[in-house]
Structure 1
């Protein structure tokens, strides 16, 4: 199914992550709060910094150089933050089986904290 946006037909299936976050926002926020609780424990500023770093690392296949370019930091800074993130979570943050879930939850978590 599709809808019209500005006179152009838009296929809903091409925008599922956005729709899920908008329409299932409450559920996504609840899951994000539980799954990403260690980021809250780091404090808002540091938590957002780490969440954005993790999201960019996931987008770049955990290539620190690629993520660093987008984040405008040195690759070693990205590696340091990844080390912190690995210590924070009780699951493998680089597991490809959970990557989509984590990316959706990170978007939700960051949005709710004004990042």
Structure 2
């Protein structure tokens, strides 16, 4: 395997926010995302809900063979706010991630940075 060092950082306003009872649904979504981008799950996903006023929402992390995926969703704001971080030493297609995000979370607005971190922090255009 040739190491790639690709890092996708996503910020999205979303129309559907998971609640505490959706922990398994989000864990399944993370597993599906890992499969979709052809990665291998090593540990997790670990998914939890924070019930603290001003910081309510879902957090999920997964360790993949080539690095990690981290998801944070705040549901007290309208629209909901998602922050997603996908880092991998293997190549992946960001559009597959955008599609998967939109299918479940009903994206209203999405912004991203796609970086190649091999030698410097170089933004990759799609």
The reply to whether TM is greater than 0.5 is no
Q: Structure 1 or 2: larger strand share?
A: 2
TM-score range, shorter chain: under 0.3
Whichever of the two has the greater Rg, that structure is 1
Which one has more relative contact order, counting CA pairs under 8 Å at least 6 apart? 2
